[in-house]
């Protein structure tokens, strides 16, 4: 419920709008700009839900989004964990994100709890929530809101209600809690540039392109694939492996996509305790390995317009700063790498050349069907059905909602990447839908992510609640996803399967998924 002045102000904003967004006005009255909520229909706990999202109100240094959840079911439905992140407390909205896809920005939610009161809804009792985010710039009048287990609301209107005009008890409390969250406020509350991550089909290299104005591109290449093994008791000069050119191919394509060149920093990384492992015994250490890559790059492509610098870091920072395990040899494998950071002179001249022309030669033997038809799968004895009717193009991104139905709860590993990807990018993100990738040439494009204030690579992905139950029995679950655009009129969704320490991830492919303009 909205109280006091807020009811009047938001009533003026919303009152002239139907659910579909058509505006109405009294005869003789001056037309009032309307800001209809975006309406999403979904299923949760076996019941149909209607979720109204918006408007987003700028309140001083915050943006508050109104989210109303209702149902036509007479029995009460517990929505406690609908938006809660893995391991979070009941009722939190940690996994909701506000996005400005037009500007390539992600806004994490700042309040741990909605404090909307009753988390049970029925036909007679809706829930009204107020997630809080950092304030948007004055030139942003529309945002997207990513709601786990529901969908992504596109074109949510942003209105400026003048700060003090918001006197609703719920809104005031939500803003107050965000102001009191000193840990977030002191470390940065966003927004953060969205990162596009493209991964080689064999997981040997990945390319991260940030929406930051600098246009920086970071290509990370596995050292174990770049260099020949050495005898730890008899270190020799660096020797490139027979696979090195193939592993370096994504970097070559990136450099060639910027004709004006720029700055290129090549850094060899030797992970903690690495001297105990055979692959870090080259003479000259990680700097010599980076130099070997620089020398070979000069033979593979024209570097005359690139200012190249080379360095090496012993005991370097691991990629997974939040979940590094000093006794996990697999993490050493993915942290031993050469990292290339290219900062182009002219980011605007970028040519789309992220991947090769060849179709990714993976997926043989996995269930395949069209997106609309859906594919039947089985994971550790649990049968399920996966479908994706369409994706919507919003700026340089694609937005979709995967539909999943299962006979019983799926294992925690079902939506994880194989260890070869999970350890390198999103290690520890149990309870997140990490493996919903799009095929693009000879590579995969992962769901969007951002690097937060302490350097964590944070995916904007669906999560399941604090209980960790992924898909309860007899439910149809909505799994929203946002990807970087891969071009074309259709896309292919690929869940790569592969070994994971927690169990069996889903291996399946959905093809011929139409792309529609948002």
How far apart are alpha carbons 198 and 425 in whole angstroms?
11
The residues, any chain, with a CB within 8 Å of residue 303's CB and separated by 6 or more, are: 255, 261, 264, 297
Q: Are residues 323 and 211 in the same domain?
A: yes
Number of domains in the chain: 3
Residue 218 domain flag: yes
Sign of the dihedral through C-alpha 266, 267, 268, 271 = negative
Query: Does residue 296 form part of some domain?
Result: yes
2: tokens are 């909205």
Domain boundary among 147, 166, 190: 190
Q: Does 354 map to a domain?
A: no
CA distance 60 to 136: 10
**How would you write the pLDDT of the chain (518 residues) with one tens digit per residue?**
222 223 333 333 333 332 233 333 333 333 333 478 999 999 887 789 999 999 898 887 889 898 889 998 888 887 767 776 544 444 567 789 999 999 999 998 886 555 544 568 888 888 888 888 999 999 999 999 999 989 999 999 998 664 433 446 767 777 777 777 666 555 568 899 999 999 998 889 999 998 888 889 999 999 989 998 765 555 678 889 999 999 999 999 999 999 999 999 999 988 765 444 444 556 778 899 999 999 999 999 999 999 999 999 876 666 655 444 545 566 677 788 999 999 999 998 876 555 544 455 555 578 999 999 999 999 888 899 999 999 999 999 999 999 999 888 887 788 888 877 776 777 666 678 889 999 988 899 999 999 887 777 888 988 875 444 455 566 788 999 999 999 999 999 999 988 777 788 899 999 999 999 98
Residue 274's alpha-carbon distances to 228, 244, 325, 339, in angstroms, are: 16, 21, 13, 17
> Collapsing DSSP states into helix, strand and coil, what is residue 169?
helix
Are 213 and 97 found together in one domain?
A: no
Is 465 among the domain residues? yes
CATH number for 336:
3.30.1330.60
Q: Are residues 198 and 158 in the same domain?
A: no
Length of the chain equals 518
Res 66: pLDDT? 87
Short-list 35, 152, 166, CA closest to 97: 152
Tell me, yes or no, whether 203 and 303 share the same domain.
yes
Q: Find the CATH number of the domain harbouring 458.
A: 2.60.40
The label of the residue with tokens 């903690």 reads 272
Structural domain includes residue 361: no
Same domain for 137 and 199, yes or no, is no
pLDDT the model gives residue 351: 65
User: Residue 274 sits in which domain range?
Assistant: 194-349
Q: Report the pLDDT value the prediction gives residue 237, as an integer from 0 to 100.
A: 81
128 and 244 fall within a common domain: no
Q: Which of 264, 269, 265 is nearest to 285 (CA)?
A: 269
Report the pLDDT value the prediction gives residue 421, as an integer from 0 to 100: 78
Task: Please give the helix or strand (H or E) that residue 221 lies within, else none.
Answer: strand 217-222
Both 263 and 307 in one domain: the answer is: yes
In whole angstroms, what is the distance from residue 13 CA to residue 473 CA? Answer: 40
pLDDT of residue 19: 28
Q: Which residues of 262-284 are buried (b: 16+ CB within 10 A; e: fewer)?
A: bebbbbbbbbeebeebebbbbee
Out of 155, 190, 225, pick the residue that ends a domain: 190
Q: Which residues contact 242 (CB under 8 A, 6 or more apart)?
A: none
Statement to judge: residues 462 and 315 lie in one domain: no
Residue where a domain stops, chosen among 349, 380, 410? 349
Q: Tell me, yes or no, whether 397 and 494 share the same domain.
A: yes
15 contact partners, CB below 8 Å, separation of at least 6: none
pLDDT for 472: 57
Is 359 among the domain residues? no
**End-to-end distance of the chain based on CA atoms, in angstroms?**
31
The answer to whether position 96 is within a domain reads yes
The model's pTM is 0.85
Measured distance CA(68)–CA(82) in Å, rounded:
13
Establish if 100 belongs to a structural domain. yes
Tell me, yes or no, whether 38 and 165 share the same domain.
yes
Q: Within this chain, do residues 162 and 220 fall inside the same structural domain, yes or no?
A: no
| H-run or E-run covering 196 | strand 192-200
State whether 65 and 103 are in the same domain.
yes
Beta strands in 441-506 (DSSP E): 443-445, 449-451, 457-459, 476-484, 490-496
Helix 244-256 / helix 285-300 crossing angle, nearest 10 deg? 60
> What sign has the CA pseudo-torsion 63, 425, 411, 414?
positive
pLDDT of residue 183: 60
């Amino acid at each position: 419920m909205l109280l006091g002045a807020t009811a009047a102000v938001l009533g003026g904003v919303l009152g002239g709008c139907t659910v579909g967004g058509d505006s109405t006005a009294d005869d003789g009255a001056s037309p009032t700009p309307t800001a209809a909520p975006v309406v999403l229909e979904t299923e949760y706990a076996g019941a149909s839900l209607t979720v109204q999202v918006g408007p987003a109100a700028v309140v001083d240094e915050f943006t508050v989004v109104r989210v109303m959840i209702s149902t036509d079911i007479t029995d009460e439905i517990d929505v406690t964990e609908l938006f809660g992140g893995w391991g979070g407390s009941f009722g939190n909205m940690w996994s909701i994100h506000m996005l400005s896809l037009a500007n390539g920005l992600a806004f994490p939610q700042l309040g741990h709890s909605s404090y909307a009161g009753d988390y049970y809804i029925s036909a007679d009792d809706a829930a009204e929530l107020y997630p809080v985010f950092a304030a948007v710039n004055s030139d942003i009048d529309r945002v997207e809101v990513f709601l786990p287990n529901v969908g992504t609301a596109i074109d949510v209107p942003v209105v400026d209600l003048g700060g003090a005009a918001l006197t609703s008890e719920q809104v005031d409390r939500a803003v107050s809690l965000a102001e009191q969250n000193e840990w977030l406020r002191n470390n940065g509350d966003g927004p953060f540039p969205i990162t596009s991550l493209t991964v080689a089909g064999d997981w040997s290299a990945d390319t991260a392109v940030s929406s930051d104005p600098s246009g920086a591109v970071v290509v990370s290449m596995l050292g174990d694939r770049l260099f020949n093994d050495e005898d730890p008791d008899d270190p020799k000069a660096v020797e490139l492996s027979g696979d090195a050119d193939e592993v370096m191919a994504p970097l070559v394509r990136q450099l060639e996509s910027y004709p004006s060149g720029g700055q290129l920093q090549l850094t060899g990384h030797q992970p903690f305790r690495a001297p105990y492992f055979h692959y870090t015994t080259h003479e000259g250490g990680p700097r010599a390995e980076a130099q070997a890559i620089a020398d070979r790059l000069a033979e593979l492509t024209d570097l005359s317009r690139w200012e190249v610098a080379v360095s090496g870091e012993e005991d370097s920072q691991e990629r997974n700063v939040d979940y590094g395990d000093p006794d996990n040899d697999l993490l050493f494998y993915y942290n031993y790498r050469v990292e290339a950071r290219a900062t182009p002179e002219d980011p605007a001249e970028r040519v789309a050349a992220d991947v090769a022309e060849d179709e990714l030669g993976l997926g043989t033997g996995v269930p395949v069907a069209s997106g609309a038809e859906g594919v039947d799968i089985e994971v550790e004895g649990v049968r399920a059905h996966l479908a994706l009717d369409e994706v919507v193009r919003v700026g340089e991104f694609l937005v979709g909602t995967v539909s999943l139905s299962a006979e019983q709860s799926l294992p925690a590993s079902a939506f994880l990447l194989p260890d070869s990807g999970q350890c390198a990018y999103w290690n520890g993100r149990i309870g997140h839908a990490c493996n919903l990738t799009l095929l693009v040439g000879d590579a995969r494009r992962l769901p969007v992510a951002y690097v937060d204030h302490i350097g964590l690579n944070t995916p904007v992905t669906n999560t399941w609640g604090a209980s960790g139950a992924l898909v309860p029995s007899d439910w149809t679950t909505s799994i929203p996803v946002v990807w970087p655009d891969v071009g074309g009129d259709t896309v292919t969704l690929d869940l790569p399967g592969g070994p994971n320490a927690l169990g069996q991830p889903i291996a399946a492919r959905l093809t011929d998924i139409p792309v529609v303009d948002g």
